[in-house]
Amino acid sequence: MLLDGKVAVVTGGGGGIGREVVLAMAAAGAKVVINDIGASVTGAGEHSDAMAVQTKAMVERAGGVAVISTDDVSEWASAQKIIECARDSFGRLDIVVNNAGILRDQIFHKMTPDEWLAVLNVHLNGTFFVSRAAAEGFRDQRSGAFVHMTSSSGLIGNLGQANYSAAKLGIVALSKSIALDMQRFGVRSNCIAPFAWGRMTGSIPTNTPEQQARVAKLQQMGPEKNAPLAVFLASDAASDVTGQIFAVRHNEIFVFSQPRPVRSVHRAEGWTPALIAEHALPALRAHFLPLDRSADVFSWDPI
């Protein structure tokens, strides 16, 4: 019961990874706010609380406690209501899991402003709005844990996901800033890059043998595999873990590096473009990274 007595908000908690995190946190003793607007994968169309209702029933059948919030993370005032729901329902808040997300994949030179903004509004703005709404309460109680869902699409790269990749890498920088700014108040902030088959990955195309092989690997990875790490990071057992980026891939857990200088060159008299081409480039080139994608880096089969 690592989370006994804790209260958690899980955005996008109605299905997929979010549902598994809700169930695991409730099983670990937390009271949970299941936030989900019930939108489609693209965020378009009518909203419904059906998935959140199903998740709440699953929590209660297992003996846990949960309430539902259908407020939208992508709007400042609405995000405030999500946090208010936790405090009104349970009297406190200890954990925020920023999991809500949508996809509007498009090759970059065809991506529209609407496709760009819709994804950033949910992922990046939503993560900021919900986290910021919780931050002052965390500061006052001198404790709190943020767990943000990032993606290898942002950490490494993927085709046709400029909006999603930018938002997910932005979440990493936001998490690090939260960790730095709020460490003195006992507040922690970490990221998880999950690998899992679900609604969000169900839209991956399968038109080529390469795509089919990638999807086959993902289908082996259930969303429940990500929940134990989320519970751990939210618990007091992780009281000294902050500002980190983790990934879960089936039964593997990774910690990611963060950008640091890897090679430098110096010239006492300074540089000209010609000298850069002649001397700096050859010295630096060996440390360039290739234009690889997530599937290129994680090329082995999950076990």
Mean pLDDT by 10 residues, the chain (303 residues): 97 97 98 94 84 98 98 98 98 98 96 98 98 98 98 96 98 98 98 82 67 70 93 98 96 96 96 98 96 90 77
Question: How confident is the model at residue 74, as a pLDDT?
Answer: 97
Q: Decide if 16 contacts 38 (C-beta within 8 A).
A: no
Domains in the chain, CATH or no CATH each: 7-258 (3.40.50.720)
Give, in degrees to the nearest 5, the angle at Cα 132 between 127 and 137: 130
pLDDT at position 199, please? 64
Strand order of the β-sheet with 245-249 is 65-69, 31-35, 7-11, 95-98, 144-149, 187-195, 245-249, 252-255
Extract the tokens encoding 301: 């089969």
Q: For residue 115, give Cα distances in angstroms to 9, 73, 98, 204.
A: 27, 17, 21, 17
Active site residue 27: no
CA 221 to chain centre: 17
DSSP at 161: B
Beta pairing, strands 245-249 & 252-255: antiparallel
Predicted pLDDT at 295: 86
E strand segments, 150-303: 187-195, 245-249, 252-255
Q: Looking at 90, 129, 164, 246, which residue is catalytic? A: 164
